[in-house]
């Protein structure tokens, strides 16, 4: 049984990762093992566990839409708590504002990969927490359920997801028909899985109103709000 990772140990791992990332970007030579040895001597875990932890950090990088350190393929079984802590630490060390994508998306992925996922209740009135960026409390189960239901096809144009993500999943986006900012609910009756093209069109298209009317007629679970 391995001991729980302390924030101090996670932070040291993040600092090491960001250092490698920096060198990687600048084409500087570095030896990954040196970092693992140093962490191992300081915190007492095997070098292998630090290598694996670095791959977890790559997964958080992937969720943040960033390029991970070459040779450290994202490993997704990080757990949503640690994913959230790692994202916070990355932002803290880099002095950037925290977005909060990793913990949420890790939960989405976990729920999505469950063999059976009951229809989630969702959130009728998602609360707005105002920070630097307006954020909404949304339910990872709703996103997971909608993505699972779509089976990798856009619910508007029926096309297959245009690509597979680095985590091996079909890429589709979840759109709320009545926007959360306009008081829409975060429930499966207000959310659809779209390919990126259709998603942009639902936001910016000349005929977005026709599209919205058509999707209510096409997808039976949708309820106008």
* Binding region for Zn ion (CB under 5 A): 154, 156-157, 175, 195, 198
**How many Cα atoms occupy the beta-carbon half-sphere of 179 within 13 Å?**
6
Q: How far is the CB of 174 from Zn ion (least distance, A)?
A: 8
45 and 82 in contact (C-beta within 8 Å)?
Answer: no
Q: How far is the CB of 30 from Zn ion (least distance, A)?
A: 40
Nearer to Zn ion, 22 or 179 (CB): 179
> Which tokens is 146 given?
């909608």
The sign of the CA dihedral 157, 163, 169, 174 is: negative
Return the closest-CA partner of residue 62 out of 6, 120, 21, 123.
Answer: 21
Nearer to Zn ion, 9 or 186 (CB): 186
219 and 192 in contact (C-beta within 8 Å)?
Answer: yes
Please state the separation of Cα 99 from the chain's center in Å: 11
Nearer to Zn ion, 147 or 198 (CB): 198
Nearer to Zn ion, 11 or 175 (CB): 175
Q: How far is the CB of 12 from Zn ion (least distance, A)?
A: 38
Nearer to Zn ion, 63 or 198 (CB): 198
* Ranges of H-type helices in the chain: 7-25, 32-43, 47-63, 80-94, 102-112, 140-150, 196-204, 208-218
Pairwise CA distance, residues 141 & 78, whole Å: 18
Q: How far is the CB of 60 from Zn ion (least distance, A)?
A: 24
Identify any residues that bridge with 186 across adjacent strands, giving them in sequence order.
123
Q: How far is the CB of 94 from Zn ion (least distance, A)?
A: 28
Nearer to Zn ion, 47 or 173 (CB): 173
> Which tokens is 206 given?
């000349």
Q: How far is the CB of 189 from Zn ion (least distance, A)?
A: 16
Nearer to Zn ion, 9 or 155 (CB): 155
Q: How far is the CB of 105 from Zn ion (least distance, A)?
A: 16
Look at the block and give the residue holding tokens 């390029």: 67
140 and 186 in contact (C-beta within 8 Å)?
Answer: no
């Amino acid at each position: 049984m391995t001991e729980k990772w302390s924030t101090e140990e996670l932070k040291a791992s993040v600092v090491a990762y960001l250092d490698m990332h920096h060198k990687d970007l600048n084409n500087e030579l570095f030896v990954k093992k040196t970092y693992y040895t140093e962490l191992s001597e300081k915190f007492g875990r095997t070098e292998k566990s630090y290598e694996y932890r670095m791959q977890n950090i790559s997964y958080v990088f992937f969720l943040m839409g960033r390029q991970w350190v070459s040779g450290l393929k994202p490993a997704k079984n990080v757990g949503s708590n640690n994913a959230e802590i790692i994202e916070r630490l990355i932002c803290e060390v880099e002095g950037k504002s925290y977005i909060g994508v990793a913990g949420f998306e890790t939960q989405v992925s976990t729920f999505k990969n469950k063999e059976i996922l009951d229809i989630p209740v969702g959130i009728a009135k998602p609360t707005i927490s105002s920070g630097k960026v307006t954020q909404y409390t949304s339910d990872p189960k709703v996103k997971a359920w909608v993505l699972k239901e779509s089976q990798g096809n856009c619910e508007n144009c029926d096309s297959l997801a245009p690509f597979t993500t680095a985590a091996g999943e079909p890429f589709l986006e979840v759109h709320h028909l009545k926007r959360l900012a306009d008081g829409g609910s975060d429930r499966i009756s207000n959310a659809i899985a779209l390919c990126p093209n259709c998603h942009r069109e639902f936001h910016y298209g000349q005929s977005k109103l026709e599209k919205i009317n058509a999707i209510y007629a096409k997808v039976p679970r949708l309820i106008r709000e």
